[in-house]
């Protein structure tokens, strides 16, 4: 794997706590996604990790034209970047059904795909799009075993797919298969689990086609299983990497076989040394994802031994035998344990060039729930 220099020559120009992206590491991750997939046309990366138009433009320049998102703000950002094939992989209920029509009206060159696992929203979606004289593609969300959303393959799923296919304003587009429960550290175990999930989708696809129902695509995978699905040769399979774009400390620990580099980091500063073996940083949970447990929330590459012992809204306390090396004002880089919600906590990021200097500022374009629709 390529070695990268994560030093910043002009750190004094960056407010803390502040997000930074190392350009070379990000480019490497994007190229690694393409290498693993074998063809950018097989990719449908999720933009929830970064929510940044600048990253979308980098992907588009590499030939990645199909994208996945979780919010209408992200979908709008994608459309504004010129993406015309967008999967909104979140179940539409309430006002979001109307927003889907508004989105398709505002961006009529975009093919919008959505997901569904229940007949009630399907009927509402059909009525809304029929009334508007428009059509939207629908993927059946298959439960692969996570039991978060989705419907198990079987008679009920078949009946729902028939309903989608026969509803005005809708076109049955295929299957959505997310296997976020597959966190097996051992690659062989993860292979076995992912192939079992693929077997659910593949078997259900066969049943649908036996009933003369179209399956135009199967969108499958997540961060840890993306390379496994990328190794499956199937013309309708679209591989959906997630956190691979930025990567993070959590997935680096969980999936040691993945060849990605944490490109997103947080610049933080020492604000106090309350004791001989503690440092207090300006890195509270308003600046980093707090869903990992406290000890796995952040990693500090410059500190060989450091334990997070306390975090509040604006403070983080580290216990480390290296505390004496630091004075208030000294800067450190932290790798977030979970990159996706960390990005959403910041309005902008500073981009670091190969010489270690800030060369651009990128807006986290879709961090809000609503842009204009």
**210-226 mean pLDDT:** 97
Q: Is the pLDDT of residue 186 over 70?
A: yes
Instruction: List the structure tokens of 288.
Output: 């980093």
Chain mean position to CA 320: 32
What is the dihedral sign for C-alpha 231, 235, 236, 242? Answer: positive
Angstrom distance (rounded) from CA 76 to CA 58: 17
Listed by start position, the domains of the chain span 24-254, 264-363
What six digits make up the tokens of 88?
Answer: 């909104």
Paired sense of beta strands 18-22 and 348-352, if any: parallel
Yes or no: say if 261 and 4 are a contact pair by the CB < 8 Å rule. Answer: yes
Query: For residue 342, which of 276, 262, 236, 278 has the smallest C-alpha distance?
Result: 262
Query: What's the topology of domain 24-254?
Result: TIM Barrel (3.20.20)
Per-residue tokens: 201: 């989708």
Q: How far apart are CA 107 and CA 84, in angstroms?
A: 9
157 confidence band (pLDDT: 50, 70, 90): very high
Average pLDDT rounded to a whole number, residues 176-198: 97
How far apart are the C-alpha atoms of 169 and 134, rounded to whole Å?
6
Q: Torsion angle, CA of 303/308/310/313, rounded to 10 degrees?
A: 70
Residue with tokens 């690694």: 32
| Owner of token pair 């020492």 | 270
Distance CA 129, CA 152 (A): 27
Query: What pLDDT is recorded for position 2?
Result: 76
Q: 274-306 in b/e burial notation, b at 16+ Cβ within 10 A?
A: eeeebbbbbbbbebbbbebeeeebbbbeebeeb
Looking at residues 230-240, what average pLDDT do you find?
98
63-98 per-position pLDDT tens digit: 999 999 999 999 999 999 999 999 999 999 999 999
Task: Report CA torsion sign: 214, 156, 42, 80.
Answer: positive
Average pLDDT estimate for 149-164:
98
Residue 307 CB-half CA count within 13 A = 4
Please state, in angstroms and rounded to a whole number, the distance separating the CA atoms of residues 364 and 373.
Answer: 18
Name the pLDDT band for 1 (thresholds 50, 70, 90): low
Distances (CA, A) of 236 to 201, 202, 302: 11, 10, 45
Our measurement of the distance from residue 110's CA atom to the centroid of its chain's CA atoms, rounded to an integer in Å, reads 21
Phi, psi of 356 (to 5 degrees): 80, 20
17 upstream amide cis, omega within 30 of 0: yes
Tell me what pLDDT residue 114 has.
Answer: 98
Tokens representing 133 are 């004289």
pLDDT digit string, tens, across residues 264-289: 999 999 999 999 999 999 999 999 99
* Tokens of residue 207, six digits: 């049943």
Give the contacts of 266 (CB within 8 A, at least 6 positions apart): 17, 18, 19, 20, 283, 287, 288, 298, 333, 334, 335, 336, 342
Encode pLDDT of 321-365 as tens digits: 999 999 999 999 999 999 999 999 999 999 999 999 999 999 999
Long-range contacts of residues 195-198, Cβ cutoff 8 Å, at least 24 apart: 195/228, 197/144, 197/145, 197/225, 198/229, 198/232
What does the pLDDT look like over 285-302, one tens digit per residue? Answer: 999 999 999 999 999 999
Please give the average per-residue pLDDT across 158-165, as a whole number. Answer: 98
Report pLDDT for 3. 86
Fold of 264-363: Lyase, Ornithine Decarboxylase; Chain A, domain 1 (2.40.37)
Question: Above pLDDT 90, what percent of the chain?
Answer: 99
Determine what percent of the chain is predicted with pLDDT higher than 70.
Answer: 100
Alpha carbon distances (Å) from 106 to 15, 90, 100, 131, 233: 37, 20, 10, 16, 36
């Amino acid at each position: 794997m390529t070695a990268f220099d994560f030093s910043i020559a002009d750190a004094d120009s960056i407010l803390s706590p502040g997000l930074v992206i190392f350009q070379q590491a990000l480019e490497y991750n994007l190229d690694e996604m393409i290498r693993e997939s074998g063809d950018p046309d097989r990719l449908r990366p999720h933009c929830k990790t970064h929510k940044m138009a600048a990253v979308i433009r980098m992907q588009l320049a590499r030939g990645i034209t199909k994208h996945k998102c979780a919010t209408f703000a992200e979908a709008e950002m994608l459309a504004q970047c010129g993406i015309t094939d967008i999967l909104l992989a979140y179940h539409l209920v309430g006002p979001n059904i109307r927003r889907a029509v508004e989105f398709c009206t505002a961006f009529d060159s975009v093919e919008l795909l959505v997901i569904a696992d229940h007949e009630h929203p399907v009927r509402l979606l059909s009525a809304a799009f029929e009334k508007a004289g428009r059509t939207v593609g629908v993927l059946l969300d298959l439960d692969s075993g996570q039991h978060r959303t989705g419907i198990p393959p079987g008679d009920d799923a078949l009946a729902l797919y028939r309903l989608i296919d026969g509803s005005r304003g809708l076109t049955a587009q295929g299957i959505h298969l997310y296997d976020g429960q597959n966190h097996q550290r051992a690659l062989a175990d993860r292979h076995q689990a992912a192939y079992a999930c693929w077997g659910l989708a593949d078997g259900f696809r066969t049943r649908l086609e036996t009933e003369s129902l179209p399956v135009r695509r199967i969108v499958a995978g997540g961060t840890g299983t993306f390379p496994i699905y990328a190794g499956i040769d199937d013309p309708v399979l679209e591989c959906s990497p997630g956190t691979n774009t930025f990567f993070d400390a959590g997935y680096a620990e969980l999936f040691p076989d993945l060849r990605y580099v944490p490109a997103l980091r947080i610049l933080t500063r020492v604000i106090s040394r309350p004791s001989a073996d503690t440092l207090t940083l300006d890195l509270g949970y308003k600046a980093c994802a707090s869903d990992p447990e406290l000890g796995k929330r952040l990693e500090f590459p410059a500190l060989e031994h450091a334990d997070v012992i306390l975090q509040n809204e604006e403070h983080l306390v580290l216990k480390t035998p290296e505390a004496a090396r630091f004075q208030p004002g000294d800067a450190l880089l932290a790798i977030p344990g979970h990159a996706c919600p960390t990005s959403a906590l910041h309005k902008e990021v500073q981009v670091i060039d190969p010489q270690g200097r800030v060369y651009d500022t990128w807006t986290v374009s879709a961090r809000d729930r609503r842009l204009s629709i």
